[in-house]
Amino acid sequence: MAASVGWGRVVLAFIVALIVGSVLGSLVQTQFNLQALEGLGVEVSMGARLETTVQDLLNVAPLYAILFGLSFLFSQVAASLVARLAGPSGRLWLCPLAAAVGLWATFRIVDALAPMPTLIAATRDMGGLLAMLVTAALSGLLFAVLVSRLPRKNGKASAAPVAMLLMVAGLALPESDAVADDAPNYTIETVASGLEHPWSLAFLPDGRMLVTERPGRLRMLTANGDLMPEPLDGVPEVFASGQAGLFEVLPARDFEDSRQIYLSYACGTMDANHACLARGQLGEQGLENVSELFRVQPAKKGSAHYGGRMVWLPDDTLVLTLGDGFDYREQAQRRQNHIGSIVRLNPDGSVPDDNPFAGRDSYQGEIYSYGHRNVQGLAYDSDQGRLIAHEHGPRGGDEINVIRPGANYGWPVTTHGLDYTGARVTPFEEREGVEAPLLHWTPSIAPSGMTVYTGDLFPQWQGDLLVGGLVTRQVHRVRLADGEATELETLFGELGERIRAVVTGPDGSVYLLTDNADGRVLRVTPD
């Protein structure tokens, strides 16, 4: 009878190879991430490198072991079955090859299913991907060598049985530490429903409301709050996929005379798309004379992190927030492109002469500030004369910043958050020459939408920021004073819905948009 290998020893060999592969994968991803920072001119000391490497081993390796373990399990079973035909010597090349192919397929599947484009940042380019596949191949080779050297016993030959117990760890994010009011002193009423992922709301001078739906529709509500049955015509062609779609609607300062409104949106295709800005005139049936004023350069792949919020400054210039495209995070430090920046434009889309980088051939003149990840909250505080923005961190590190022209807000050189795998994006939370956030949320609240409350209905909120939370499903009240930001309380948690936008209405009420396939416009008034 042919000799067979004991099951227990095969399992042990599998576990050893899995541990080695998980550790090697963590080491490789850390070094490639640090190399990306060094490519920005950031000096990473040996101490910072070692600290980051050790922390990633503790945080990333266990999660990566689950991902890699699944691919390794199936790949090695398949390789062992094929090895029965190829002979014992075939195992030495089949196992490494299967491990590399299995990990590549797993990366492709996970990146297709995950909400972010690329789960493991090191695999964003071919060099990092190949390095990760090499670690899998080395694990496969180790497994093959260990199995081939195991003592054998007489018995019927069988394929190497590989069994493993895998624990699936969820990345549940706790809610904010702020405490909601036990006895709300407000009433929430539904103004309109049946909106597909509403993103932005703007009031017209006559009391009508414009609402954008992310799939690419612009809707009108009457002054009484009745939703018009048909979307408005004339909206530019929108690239709608994932986070991409139609974003902000903003009436011109002189709307009563010009009838002009501005739209921010994603345009292009999955393989080449941009954040874009267009302007048109509001007619009886929709938009007329629509023209594109600005688009982010260069084009990018994927459908994540566009920014898209807009606000007018007192000098009649327009500020538009942008995102880093997720897989392009290092570009947020390069002013040669628009990625990961906030831009300031004249109403016709041209570059204001006093922009901080205007007239510099090597820089994009539209850039007002840079080093941003994904700015989805923007408001101008007219009482204090300051532009305030908030942006999504990765896993934690959501920020509130006061925006200064020409300033660097750090991403990805500094952050208080971790990558979604638990990996360190950077060793630095603060750095000279980088604006530190006034407040950061760790864990993340996923902020979206923001208003400086200026109404009279809630005097206790006067001058405070009301920040929507997608993850926490609340509105966070934040006060800025003496150069610091403090979260005072959370509101409207009883809704249990993702809050996409928060707007102060002309009458002082607070309007909310819920981010659902059946989204709503809500109005908050005092009891």
pLDDT for the residue numbered 147: 87
Asked if residue 71 belongs to a domain, the reply is yes
pLDDT tens, 98-134? 999 999 999 999 998 887 789 999 999 999 999 999 9
Asked if residue 478 belongs to a domain, the reply is yes
**293 with 406, same domain?**
yes
What's the distance, CA 283 to chain centroid? 35
pLDDT for the residue numbered 117: 85
Mean pLDDT to the nearest integer, 351-366: 96
Asked if residue 378 belongs to a domain, the reply is yes
- pLDDT at residue 482 above 80? yes
Beta bridge partners of 526: 186
Residue 279 structural domain: 186-526
Spatial separation of the C-alpha atoms in residues 231 and 221, rounded to whole Å: 10
305 as an active site residue: the answer is: yes
**206 with 295, same domain?**
yes
Asked if residue 338 belongs to a domain, the reply is yes
Number of structural domains found in the chain: 2
pLDDT tens, 45-79? 999 999 999 999 999 999 999 999 999 999 999 99
Asked if 512 and 522 count as a contact pair (C-beta separation under 8 A), the reply is: yes
pLDDT tens, 404-425? 999 999 999 999 999 999 999 9
Instruction: Give the CATH number, domain containing residue 385.
Output: 2.120.10.30
**369 with 220, same domain?**
yes
- pLDDT at residue 5 above 90? no
* Residue of 197, 274, 305, 476 marked catalytic: 305
CA atoms in the 13 A half-sphere facing the CB of 272: 2
What 8-state DSSP symbol labels residue 339? T
What 8-state DSSP symbol labels residue 135? H
Residue whose token pair is 């090597």 = 362
Which of 333, 338, 306, 302 lies closest to 115 in space, CA to CA?
302
**200 with 275, same domain?**
yes
Q: In what helix (H) or strand (E) does residue 500 lie, and over which residues does it extend?
A: strand 499-504
pLDDT for the residue numbered 172: 35
pTM of the model: 0.91
**126 with 244, same domain?**
no
**406 with 521, same domain?**
yes
**233 with 114, same domain?**
no
Which residues, 6+ apart, have CB-to-CB distance to 170 below 8 Å?
Answer: none
**127 with 221, same domain?**
no
